[in-house]
Amino acid sequence: MEAGTKIHPGTTALLATFGYAKVKVSKRPIVGILSTGTELLDVGDELTPGKIRNSNGPMVEAQLKRMGMMYQSYGMLEDNLESCQHMVEKALAETDLLITTGGVSVGDYDYLPVIYERLGATVLFNKIAMRPGSVTTVSVLNGKLLFGLSGNPSACFTGFELYVRPAIEKMMGSLAPYLPQIEAELDEAIPDANPFIRFMRGLWTFGADGVTARPAGFNKTNAVSSIARGNCIIVLPPGEHGYERGAKVKLLLLGSEQGVSTWNI
């Protein structure tokens, strides 16, 4: 088996068959997660005016778990420059890479860009011509990557799958770091046009017409329900027109937790 091959039940069986009880593997990096925002409440807290429960922290943890990764959570922090900087420094010292959510745009209380500057981190990019997740920022300090994901849940989710996931896979020497990609037909029109490439939470199915896909519900950047219902990301290239039903699109496939109700074999 080639170095960089993922060990799954089939490869485990092959190794066992040929007498390999132990093999050399890549070390899994430890990932730090920090959610920022004065408006954030813990999952178990009662909602109060102007507050919102922290869904990004648990979501990113679950995205890492789905990849089989280990993580260290640094919880939530209010938008306070000193305490956020202190926590970023602590987290960087204790982990191999750090994911932060929120506070990365141009608002008065968006402190991550200032923290990167104060720490002397090299910003690799701080704007991407895509929707959602345009504010996704990646910097590097002493060889450690800092992923500044958007606070908006759909943008945070997308930023993880498009940028964090392949980076972690590469760190482990993976030969196939990107989400699997297939082609499908839209079974619902997406009428609005967008000058930027869009990565839409979608739902793919396999039926009489082959593989078809549709948006997984309300698809705004602040939406959480479409992340919950989606099983793929529909890639919509930029343009002056929307997409008709039947249009061919590319899909990036997410985990396969969602089964089907019946088989038609």
Q: Does 40 bind ligand LQZAQKY5 (CB under 6 A)?
A: yes
Q: Which residue from 98, 135, 227, 232 is in contact with ligand LQZAQKY5, where contact means CB under 6 A?
A: 135
Minimum separation from the CB atom of position 1 to ligand MOO (A): 39
Q: Does 47 bind ligand LQZAQKY5 (CB under 6 A)?
A: no
DSSP E strands: which ranges in the chain? 30-36, 40-41, 52-53, 70-77, 97-101, 122-125, 130-131, 137-141, 144-149, 181-186, 197-207, 210-215, 232-236, 248-253
d(CA 254, CA 227): 11
- Among ligand LQZAQKY5, ligand MOO, none, what binds residue 35 when CB lies within 5 to 8 Å by partner kind? ligand LQZAQKY5
- Among ligand MOO, ligand LQZAQKY5, none, what binds residue 56 when CB lies within 5 to 8 Å by partner kind? ligand LQZAQKY5
Q: Which residue from 150, 212, 226, 231 is in contact with ligand LQZAQKY5, where contact means CB under 6 A?
A: 150
Closest CA to 138 of 130, 129, 147, 127: 147
Minimum separation from the CB atom of position 161 to ligand LQZAQKY5 (A): 16
CB 222 within 8 A of CB 194: no
Q: Distance of CA 144 to CAs 54, 65, 100, 240, Å?
A: 25, 21, 13, 39
Q: Which is nearer to ligand MOO, 139 or 221 (CB)?
A: 221
- Among ligand MOO, ligand LQZAQKY5, none, what binds residue 226 when CB lies within 5 to 8 Å by partner kind? none
